[in-house]
Amino acid sequence: MSRVYNFSAGPAMLPEPVLEQVREELLDWRGTGMSVMEMSHRGKAFVAIAEEAEAELRALAGIPEHYEVLFLQGGASLQFAMVPLNLLRGKGKADYVNTGSWSTKAIKEARRFCEVNVAASSEASRFTTIPPQAEWRLDPDAAYVHYTPNETIGGVEFHWVPDTGDVPLVADMSSTILSRPLEVERFGLIYAGAQKNIGPAGLTLVIVREDLVGHAGPGVPSMLDYRTHAEAGSMANTPPTFAWYVAGLVFKWIRDQGGLAAMAERNRRKAEKLYAFIDGSDFYHNPVDPACRSWMNVPFTLARPELDGAFLEGAAEAGLSTLKGHRSVGGMRASLYNAMPEAGVDALIDYMAEFERRHG
Ligand SMILES: *Cc1c(COP(=O)(O)O)cnc(C)c1O
């Protein structure tokens, strides 16, 4: 067996100790004689797994009692609809900040349900910057303000949390959650698909302030109503049990690493190392304003794009996998989520330097 450094944007690399524990427990979870995959979600064993995962997450991220933690399905993409369906509370309009592909998708979906005010957009800079809050035109009557703290495709990240006063702040944290400490109380709602920094695909995490639950309109399907899931402990129907279990192991692994502050320090170091290398080279280029470069997703291009294929082939031979950029932007993208060890970034930089020596 040989494992590669997997730079995929999602589904992404998982911590090796977590995979090893999964393998260890796969056929017989702690003497139950069955796999977690085969357990009733209402049985004692799985209920304990589920509760422990939630408790770990609450401790890790400092989630206060008056926030619900929901383990849902449908991906972050379903939250693009569930957020307006639940949070409009009769208001009919919401503010959105557009910083790239994922915000654009969230806006498009929200427009099916309400009037969207694009309070700020970095489209004019081809989404390589983040508009400072002083330039945002927020509507005081908006039901909520939605933004994307990390744009997975453009590699643009907020290194600050917007201040929206009494208007609830909603964040699509799919590709940055748990990468650094989280001030949950600054947010009305946080959502994230699990497959980047939490665990396997199929699980979507929603952290929502209690008072924002229970306002879905009459036509909203019950399975799209946060209240249904909050009241049922995320077991209104069969939840993604295996993904939930693995997420719990990942939360424990993060705690063993020293928690979110330690993750942040490591993530910053990894990203800074790679950006410093790119900036010091005439062969590689990252287009993003240094003040808002992502710690999680680092897009870069080669001075000679005709060498993209050779670059990827050589990388794969060196055990560096899935560096191809998103189909909408081309070039390369290295995703450096929590599970990517520093040695993986070092190996990538060594390979890039060697490739430049041969072709630059
Ligand atoms: C990956 C991603 C999504 C889409 O997630 P799905 O779980 O596939 O729906 C949405 N927003 C961001 C920021 C993402 O990175």
Tell me the β-bridge partners of 207: 69, 190
Tokens of 83: 């957020």
Tokens of 269: 């170091």
What value does the mean pLDDT take over residues 335-356?
Answer: 98
Architecture of the domain spanning 17-256: 3-Layer(aba) Sandwich (3.40)
Question: For ligand 1, atom 8, which residue shows the shortest CA distance?
Answer: 75
Ligand 1 centre and the CA of 105: distance in Å? 10
Mutate to test the pocket of ligand 1, among 8, 82, 175 (most ligand atoms within 8 A of CB): 175
Q: Is 149 in the pocket of ligand 1 (CB under 6 A)?
A: no
Vertex 319: Cα angle to 316 and 321 (nearest 5):
55
Span 126-142, average pLDDT: 97
Which of 29, 95, 196, 253 is flagged as catalytic?
A: 196
Residues that constitute the known binding site for L-glutamate: 42
Q: Residue 112: pLDDT above 80?
A: yes
Which residue puts its alpha carbon closest to atom 3 of ligand 1? 76
What is the β-pairing status of strands 189-193 and 204-209? antiparallel
User: What does the buried/exposed string (b/e) look like for 68-85 if buried means 16 or more CB atoms within 10 Å of the residue's CB?
Assistant: bbbbbeebbbbbbbbbbb
Beta bridge partners of 189: 170, 208
Q: What residue owns the CA closest to ligand 1's atom 10?
A: 76
Closest residue CA from atom 1 of ligand 1: 174
Q: Mean pLDDT throughout 23-33? A: 98
Q: State the pLDDT at residue 327.
A: 85
pLDDT at 328 over 90: no
174 lines ligand 1 (CB under 6 A): yes
Of 44, 91, 95, 102, which is the active-site residue? 102
Binding positions are 42, 76-77, 102, 152, 172, 195, 237-238
Evaluate: CB of 148 within 6 angstroms of ligand 1. yes
Q: Using CA atoms in the order 355, 357, 359, 360, what is the torsion angle rounded to 10 degrees? A: 110
Q: Could you tell me if the CB of 39 is within 6 A of ligand 1? A: no
- The ranges assigned to domains in the chain are 17-256, 259-359
CATH of the domain spanning 259-359: 3.90.1150.10
Tell me, what's the pLDDT at 250? 98
Q: How far apart are the first and last CA of the chain?
A: 34
* The pLDDT value given to residue 148: 98
Q: Distance between CA atoms of 325 and 308, rounded to whole angstroms?
A: 10
CB 176 less than 6 A from any atom of ligand 1: no
What are 4's two structure tokens? 């590669």
116 lines ligand 1 (CB under 6 A): no
Exposure string over 13-51, b if 16+ CB within 10 A, otherwise e: bbbeebeeebeeeeeebeeeeeebeebebeeeebeebbe
Q: Compute the distance from residue 281 Cα to the ligand 1 centre, in Å.
A: 31
**pLDDT tens by residue, 230-241:** 999 999 999 999
* Residue 28 among the catalytic residues: no
The atom of ligand 1 lying closest to the CA of 77 is 9
Q: Is the CB of 128 under 6 A from ligand 1?
A: no
Active site residue 196: yes
Mean pLDDT on 272-281: 98
> Has residue 1 got a pLDDT over 90?
no
pLDDT band at 150 (very low <50, low <70, confident <90, very high): very high
Could you read off the pLDDT of 56-104 as tens digits, one per residue? 999 999 999 999 999 999 999 999 999 999 999 999 999 999 999 999 9
Q: Taking the mean position of all CA atoms in its chain, how far away is CA 39?
A: 28
Query: What average pLDDT does the segment 310-319 reach?
Result: 98
**Average pLDDT of the residues in 245-272:** 98
**193 ligand 1 Cβ < 6 A:** yes
How does the average pLDDT of the chain come out, rounded? 97
SS (H, E, C) 205-229: EEEEEHHHCCCCCCCCCHHHCHHHH
Rg for the chain (alpha carbons), in Å? Answer: 21
| Closest by Cα among 174, 200, 199, 226 to 69 | 226
Strand-pair partners of 145: 95, 169
The length of the chain, given as a count of residues? 360
In the reported structure, the alpha carbon of residue 355 is separated from the centroid of ligand 1 by a whole-number distance in angstroms of 32
The answer to whether residue 295 is catalytic is no
Residue 16 structure tokens = 């090796």
Please enumerate, by residue number, every residue annotated as part of a binding site for pyridoxal 5'-phosphate.
Answer: 76-77, 102, 152, 172, 195, 237-238
Cβ of 157: how many Cβ atoms within 10 Å? 26
The per-residue pLDDT for range 168-217, each reduced to its tens digit, is 999 999 999 999 999 999 999 999 999 999 999 999 999 999 999 999 98
Assign 340 a pLDDT band (cuts: 50, 70, 90). Answer: very high
For residue 292, give both structure tokens: 């808002």
Mean pLDDT of 115-127: 97
**Average pLDDT, integer, range 301-321:** 97
The 3-class secondary structure across the chain, one letter per residue, is CCCCEECCCCCCCCCHHHHHHHHHHCCCCCCCCCCHHHCCCCCHHHHHHHHHHHHHHHHHHCCCCCEEEEEECCHHHHHHHHHHHHHCCCCCEEEEEECCHHHHHHHHHHCCCCEEEEEEECHHHCCCCCCCHHHCCCCCCCCCEEECCEECCCCEECCCCCCCCCCCEEEECCCCCCCCCCCHHHCCEEEEECCCCCCCCCCEEEEEEHHHCCCCCCCCCHHHCHHHHHHCCCCCCCCCHHHHHHHHHHHHHHHHCCHHHHHHHHHHHHHHHHHHHHHCCCCEECCCCHHHECCCEEEEEECCHHHHHHHHHHHHHCCEECCECCCCCCCEEEECCCCCCHHHHHHHHHHHHHHHHHHC
pLDDT at 329 over 90: no
